Amino acid sequence: MKIFLDTANVQKIKEAAAMGLCDGITTNPTIILKEGRDHKEVINEISALISGPISVEGIGETADEMAKDAVEFSKWGKNIVAKVPMTKEGLKAVRALEAKGIPTNVTLVFSPAQALLAAKAGASYISPFVGRLDDISQDGMALIAEILAILKNYGFKSQVIVASVRSPMHVVEAAKAGAHIATVPPDVFDKLFSHPLTDKGIKMFIEDYKKANAAAGAKK
């Protein structure tokens, strides 16, 4: 499974990239607002750091507006993906942009029917929001399994990006379901590394290393 970071925080992206753990980036206006930076400036900087796809979302409401935004975004760096909402206008934009060679990511997907339509329209990526479904007492990960089954039935090329990830278990469940990608916010990414037994084991080995040297020194 590919791991994308769901952030525009350049430090976090650098850190993950240094471990080979940043296969791509997803952003949205809320994520960019958190950094307090200009859209173009931050996307430009991210594009210089990673070679994977970078999803950028505009505010166009009609297909023409979305396509115009996407053409502009695609000038901001390499591998820019146009994020468009799951609406009729959004899917018209998907068709036009994919035909032009600009990959699209259909966002705000909450049902298998929406994912089927996005796949048929030719989206490169489909982003179901698992956390927001869990928030309203629906099973976000069950949606992922349904979408993956539909895509497999018909050999659709669209890749599923498990989005609105809120916990390490979302990432693990995404991998178990065979999702192509999980896009992970920095706080959840950091939690993926931790296990109390790892910390305990490191502490014990350091102490025993020192004890072993001290014991050997005492024998001399």
CB of 217 to ligand G3P, least distance (A): 54
* Residue 104 interacts with ligand G3P (CB under 6 A): yes or no: no
118 binds ligand G3P (CB under 6 A): no
Instruction: Provide the token pair at 161.
Output: 């990006």
Q: Cα separations (Å) of 86 from 95, 105, 111, 114?
A: 13, 9, 10, 7
Measured from the CB atom, the residue of 112 and 186 that comes closer to ligand G3P is: 186
Interface residues for ligand G3P in 56-85 (CB under 6 A)?
Answer: none
Question: Which residue carries 């014991």 as its tokens?
Answer: 215
d(CA 220, CA 215): 9
129 binds ligand G3P (CB under 6 A): yes
Q: Is 14 annotated in the active site?
A: no
What one-letter code names the amino acid at 156?
F
| Of 149, 196, 188, 187, residue with least CA distance to 169 | 188
- Contact between 167 and ligand G3P (CB under 6 A)? no
Determine the size of the site formed for ligand G3P (CB under 6 A). Answer: 11
- Under the binding rule (CB under 6 A), the answer on residue 105 touching ligand G3P is no
Cβ atoms 105, 124 nearer than 8 A: yes
For ligand G3P, what does the binding mask look like between residues 177 and 216, x meaning CB under 6 A?
Answer: ------x---------------------------------
CB-count burial class (<10 Å; 0-12, 13-18, 19+) for 173: buried
Q: Does 173 bind ligand G3P (CB under 6 A)?
A: no
Note the residues at the interface with ligand G3P (CB under 6 A): 6, 26, 28, 31, 127, 129, 131-132, 163-164, 183
Positions annotated as catalytic residues are 83
